Structures are given as structure tokens and as C-alpha cells.
Chain A
Amino acid sequence: MLDLTKYQSLGEALRDALDRWPNEVCLIESDRDRECIRLTYSDFKETALPLARALQDAGFRPGDRAAIIMTNQSKWLISAYAVMFCGGVLVPLDYKLTAAEHLQLLAHSQAKVLFTEFHLWRAISQAVGFDGLATETVLVTEAPGSAGLVKAFRWEDFRRKGAPDLAPRKRDDWATIVYSSGTGGRPKGCVLTNENYLEQCAALTSLFPFWPGVRYLSILPTNHAVDFMVGFLGPFVCGATVVHLRTLRPEFVRDAFVRYRITYMSLVPMVLKNLERGLRSKFDEMSSKKRWVLDRLIALNRLLTRGRPRAAISRLLLPQIHRAFGGGLRAMFVGGAFMEASTLQFFYDLGVPVSNGYGLTEAGTVLTLNDCKPFRSDTVGKPLPGVELRILNPDSENIGEVAARSKTIMSHYLSDPELTAKTIVDGWLLTGDLGRFDDTGHLQLFGRKKNMIVTPGGKNIYPEDIETAFDGLPVKEYCVFAANYIWKKNDLGREMLVIVILLEPGQEFTNALREDLSARNRRLPDFKRIGGYCVVAKDFPRTASMKIKRNQLAEELGKVLQRSDVIEL
């Protein structure tokens, strides 16, 4: 791999990577079972540089911002490289947000350029507020020949001849603005520097190395910090290959494992659980004799891999399972804070290590990662090289807030010095998560100090963002909380949102009210729905300006109610 300590910027490092492995394949794009694109590093360079030149000719300057709203595909990475080559600041936005949310974040980030796909652009250009969009240059991929593009160019046509100039950038210059949440009024745009990424990339690849021939299957959205690192920067600076699938249907994902002999992939807990269910139901269909043999082989594999993964032995003992995963899989990565230990153990016992880690956008990609030496399904691993963690104000069980210091910690929140000052104190990032270290230096997480949940699909949900769905609920007042914010140190695997309701004097909680609550809840996207409710008798504490004092209310509720008092919806 490239020696990243020598580089000042991502653009500079990627430029050298493209020259270092010209004939290696860097990208494969497959739509279902049809391979549509296969690019070598040299092909990638030839496609990206005319785009970079066209951007420079259009007035895109170092420090200017360019947003990408695209599903996972080769043009995502090509566009990103062109932006970095020009010294621009990349703003990767979640393509699953609504068009209105896209417009909000485009305005907040002050993106001068936008790369997007035709169907997404169609939605954005029809949304309320589109007329106010200040983005100057919009490049749209896959626009049908007959489509008239409103205020936009075809990505494929936006290129100019002539070598573009690599814009020199420094390590502490901004590389990206990544939104960790915040479509509910206060966008949290994490400003990450070139140094953040170069340091993170070096640390991660020291634990899980890439090299030419290694293939990473990219199914997490590339705008997500994890895929951006291990599905782009990591493989590229090592000459490896990224495989994009333009579908997430399980049958084609399974097929891709085999067809491309995948080495690594990242996934969210929901997909991992789905894989587990599929495998378990296949095992249940086996004859009792075959099942008996399989169980003994799994037990033997567990014994032989107690200290560390031993891929060759596992493949020998359980060849059919490993063939189904392509035969070359070394590890899968998953955000582990809320991953059930039993699921991780299930895969490890099959010889398919799932390396769970812990991170947040504010910290680059990950702070800790399980290196599986030995495998510990009950922890999120040890700090990465260069990451210092400490536990603030530990209680009698040594549990306290996790704070992190590292060269991978973001510079600041965009346009929000107040929130930045609360989040980064004396150089330490206050994560808002509760944890402790065990005797072997592994971090265990127990809950959150902050009022939020992360869904099994990997989305951050802030209760304040969904309260408007309950506007007009005929009660005196209500407030939505993350259950673990009220009852701290609970099982992260059972994260849920709870609505706390205060009835009018004399009012009863009727079936009609429950129906009303359920109906409003169903109108929310599935991952934003509340899981239950509880009714309280005392007025909510409020500030002088009549805002609910959420911290105080949560503290009071934790004293008078148990988690078991929550009634499921």
C-alpha cells in the first residue's frame, strides 16, 4: 500500500494510487447478474481527469464544496476523485433522504456542484423550495436520451480535454462535510480533514489489510463513513478492487459473493440478522443425521479457532458454508454497538468472522474494532492504533461516558461553534455513549447518555425530529425519548423510542386515543416509529421560555417509572 504518512491530501494519495497500479482492476459494477462496468486504475484515471478539468473550467476552486447524492456505483467514486483532485470539499449526502431534506442540506453545506442520478434529480427538481437552490453546476447520471434536464448537465457529457491541475491541499484542510443527522432543524455537518482520513485509513488497513486482488463488496451506502473508507479510500490506496452491486436483493448479494470471490464486506445489523435467519432455516431443513454432523463440525471449528480465526481450517471443516460465501471471505464488518452477541458468535463459529466496531461520524470512521484475536462477541474491540479513549466520571461499575482523542476526530460542526464547543472539550470528543474497559482492554458499551437511537439499519434517529408526527394528539402534553436515555445502561440491542404522555385533568387513556397514537405512528417511516408509550401524572418541567427541560424530565421519569412500565404500541 501507499505510505500515507507522506501525503498531505486525499487527492494527492489517490493520484499516486492510480499511477501505481495502472493495470489492476479498481472497480466492478454489476446490475443483478449482469456486469456492466469493469475499470482498471488506468481506466478510472482516464474517466475522472476530463471531469476534473471540466469542473476547473467551470470555476470550481480549491475549498469549494461539491455534493454527491447517488446510490453505490462507479460514477460516485469517479466524481469524488475529480472533486478531490480539484481540492474541493466533498459533501456526501444520503440518497435515502427526501428531496426536501436534500435541498435543506445542499443549502446548509453551500454546495457549488452537485452530482446526482436522474431519478433523484427529478424528485429534487419537483420539490418545494427547488427555485431557491443556489448550487451552480448540477451533473446528472443515467438521464434517458429524451429527458429534458432542468438546470443540469449530463454527467457523461461534462468533460473537457487537457490535463487538469492537481490542487495542492494541506493535511488540515477540509476534505469532507458529512452529515451525521439533522434534518430536524439543526443539521450536524461534521467537517473532516485530509488528516482525519489519512490517519484513519492507515490505522484500519494495519488491522485488515488490502492488496491487489482483494475484493470488497460495497453494499452500505458510500455516503456512509464506513463505506467511504473501506469501500473507497482503503482499497484504492492498496491497489484492491471495489465491487458495486446496483441491487440489494438478497439473491443477487449471495450470487456476488461467489461470482466475485469477495474478501471483505461491511453491513448493517439488519442485513446480518437476515443472513443469519436464512442460514438457520437452511440448517433446520437438514435431515437429523446431517444436522448432527454439521453441529459437531461447528463445535470443532469453534474449538480450533478459539484464539484467532483460522480460515484454512474453517474452510476445510465447513466447505459448503464457505463456498456459499464465495470461498475467499476473510471478514465482514458491522457497527457493533447494538449487534447481538449471539449473532456474532453464530458467524464466528462457522469460520466467518464478523468484526464489530464502534464509531461515529464525528470520529472519522471507527474508534474501536474487534481484531478477533481472540474473538469477543460481547465487546466492540480495542481502540485502533492512534486512538486514545477514556471513561469520564466512572460509576461504581467503572461505567462512564466514552471520550476519544485521536487525529481522526473531526475539525468541527459546520456553522455551529456552540455545538462544537459542547462536543469537543479540550481536544476530547465526548461521544455521549456509556462504556467501560474490561481487563483485557476491550471496550464494552452499555447505553447512551445522549437522547438518540441508532436503528438496526444504521440510521441515527433523534426523538426531537419525529415529535411533529404527534402534533395535535389530544392530550395535555407529550415528549419523545430514546428509552435508554431515561433508563440508562440498558441493552443496546433493545433500543427504542418512547412517547411520554401527560393527560388532561380527568382525561382517561381510551382505546380511541391509543388508535390515534398508533395511526400517527404508522405514518412515520418504519425506522422512525416509536416502540411504546407511558403515561405520567406530573407536569413536565419547563424553562422560562416554556421549552420542555428534557434532561430533567428524563431524570425524573427514570426515578418514578421502570422500563417495564412502557406499553408497547
Chain B
Amino acid sequence: MPTLDQTLDEVLTLAAAQFKVPRENLSPDDDFFQKLAIDSLQALDLLTRLENHFHVELPDYEMQGVSDFRTLASRIQARL
């Protein structure tokens, strides 16, 4: 099983690729809404992409209030 740091790194890489942002511009504690300049519907697209990559299910209602990459990665890690 990957470590939390590895999961976090993959989350950052996938997010950067999906929204065409340089990977080095993203940090674990960034707010992804702000850093990626995305709205809530685009955030749902990101969740779907992450689910497909990690083969986990991330319920929308449990993601309420999650806005930084680190917490997002830890929610994924808990399901791996």
C-alpha cells in the first residue's frame, strides 16, 4: 500500500495535469478551489478522476468542507 506522502504526491500530479497547472505550483496545504481556480462542479470532476485512479469511492457528502490537497489525500488513503 502506498504511504500518505505517495498518495498526496499522486493527487497533486493528477490535479495539476487535469487543470493544466504546473505541478511545482501546487503544495499539500493549498486550497484546491483557489489554487486550481475551479468551481464546485469542476471539483466533482476532480474527485471522479481520483476515484478512477485510486479505485476508491469518495462520497460527495463526506467531502463537504474538504478544500486542501492534504486532507483530500488522507481521505483517499483511509479507503485504500
How far is A526 from B44 in the complex, measured between Cα atoms in Å? 15
Other-chain residue from B31, B33, B65 in contact with A123 (beta carbon distance below 8 A)? B65
Other-chain residue from B34, B40, B57, B61 in contact with A522 (beta carbon distance below 8 A)? B34
Q: Is A482 an interface residue (CB 8 A)?
A: no
Q: Is B62 an interface residue (CB 8 A)?
A: yes
Q: Is B2 an interface residue (CB 8 A)?
A: no
How far is A117 from B41 in the complex, measured between Cα atoms in Å? 22
Give the number of chain A interface residues (Cβ < 8 Å). 28
Q: Are B61 and A249 in contact (CB under 8 A)?
A: no
Contact residues in B for A250 (Cβ distance below 8 Å): 41, 44
Q: Is B29 an interface residue (CB 8 A)?
A: no
CB within 8 Å for A526 and B37 given contacts A246-B59, A247-B59: yes
Contact with B along A472-506 (1 / 0, CB 8 A): 00000000000000000000000000000000000
Q: Are A526 and B60 in contact (CB under 8 A)?
A: no
CB within 8 Å for A526 and B65 given contacts A250-B41, A270-B39: no
Q: Is B64 an interface residue (CB 8 A)?
A: yes
User: B75 to chain A: closest CB distance in Å?
Assistant: 10
Contact residues in A for B34 (Cβ distance below 8 Å): 522-526
Contact residues in A for B37 (Cβ distance below 8 Å): 522, 526
Q: Is B38 an interface residue (CB 8 A)?
A: yes
Q: Are B60 and A96 in contact (CB under 8 A)?
A: no
Q: Are A246 and B65 in contact (CB under 8 A)?
A: no
Other-chain residue from B38, B48, B64 in contact with A119 (beta carbon distance below 8 A)? B64
User: A248 to chain B: closest CB distance in Å?
Assistant: 6
How far is A392 from B8 in the complex, measured between Cα atoms in Å? 57
Contact residues in B for A524 (Cβ distance below 8 Å): 34
Closest residue to A249 on the B side, CB-wise?
B44
Q: Is A551 an interface residue (CB 8 A)?
A: no
10 pairs, A vs B, C-beta closer than 8 Å = A95-B64, A119-B62, A120-B64, A248-B60, A249-B47, A249-B48, A270-B41, A274-B41, A526-B38, A527-B39
**Residues 48-83 of A at the B interface (beta carbon under 8 Å):** 71, 73
User: B31 to chain A: closest CB distance in Å?
Assistant: 8
Q: How many A-B residue pairs have CB under 8 A?
A: 54
Q: Are A525 and B33 in contact (CB under 8 A)?
A: yes
If A71-B61, A123-B65, A250-B41 are given as contacts, then 13 extra A-B residue pairs at C-beta distance below 8 Å, sorted by A number, are: A98-B65, A117-B61, A120-B65, A246-B60, A247-B60, A248-B44, A249-B48, A249-B60, A270-B41, A271-B41, A274-B41, A457-B39, A524-B34
User: A303 to chain B: closest CB distance in Å?
Assistant: 34
User: B32 to chain A: closest CB distance in Å?
Assistant: 11
Q: Is A99 an interface residue (CB 8 A)?
A: yes
Contact residues in B for A73 (Cβ distance below 8 Å): 61
How far is A251 from B60 in the complex, measured between Cα atoms in Å? 13
**Residues 512-566 of A at the B interface (beta carbon under 8 Å):** 522-527
Contact residues in A for B48 (Cβ distance below 8 Å): 249, 251
Contact with B along A315-342 (1 / 0, CB 8 A): 0000000000000000000000000000
Closest residue to A123 on the B side, CB-wise?
B65
Contact residues in A for B65 (Cβ distance below 8 Å): 98-99, 119-120, 123
Q: Is A172 an interface residue (CB 8 A)?
A: no
Q: Are B61 and A246 in contact (CB under 8 A)?
A: yes
How far is A527 from B38 in the complex, measured between Cα atoms in Å? 10
Q: Is A388 an interface residue (CB 8 A)?
A: no
User: A256 to chain B: closest CB distance in Å?
Assistant: 14
How far is A251 from B41 in the complex, measured between Cα atoms in Å? 12
Q: Is A31 an interface residue (CB 8 A)?
A: yes
How far is A246 from B59 in the complex, measured between Cα atoms in Å? 8
Closest residue to B34 on the A side, CB-wise?
A522
Closest residue to B33 on the A side, CB-wise?
A526
Q: Are A31 and B59 in contact (CB under 8 A)?
A: yes
Closest residue to A456 on the B side, CB-wise?
B39
- Report which residue of A32, A457, A525, A526 has the largest number of chain B beta carbons within 10 angstroms of its beta carbon: A526
Q: Are B44 and A71 in contact (CB under 8 A)?
A: no
- Report which residue of B35, B60, B61 has the largest number of chain A beta carbons within 10 angstroms of its beta carbon: B61
Closest residue to B48 on the A side, CB-wise?
A249
User: B63 to chain A: closest CB distance in Å?
Assistant: 8
Closest residue to A95 on the B side, CB-wise?
B64
User: B37 to chain A: closest CB distance in Å?
Assistant: 7
Contact residues in B for A95 (Cβ distance below 8 Å): 64
How far is A91 from B4 in the complex, measured between Cα atoms in Å? 39
User: B69 to chain A: closest CB distance in Å?
Assistant: 15
Contact residues in A for B62 (Cβ distance below 8 Å): 119
Contact residues in A for B64 (Cβ distance below 8 Å): 71, 95-96, 119-120
Closest residue to B35 on the A side, CB-wise?
A522
Q: Are B40 and A457 in contact (CB under 8 A)?
A: yes
**Residues 26-80 of B at the A interface (beta carbon under 8 Å):** 31, 33-35, 37-41, 44, 47-48, 57, 59-62, 64-65
Closest residue to A245 on the B side, CB-wise?
B60
Contact residues in A for B38 (Cβ distance below 8 Å): 526
How far is A526 from B57 in the complex, measured between Cα atoms in Å? 25
Contact residues in A for B60 (Cβ distance below 8 Å): 71, 246-249
How far is A498 from B52 in the complex, measured between Cα atoms in Å? 40
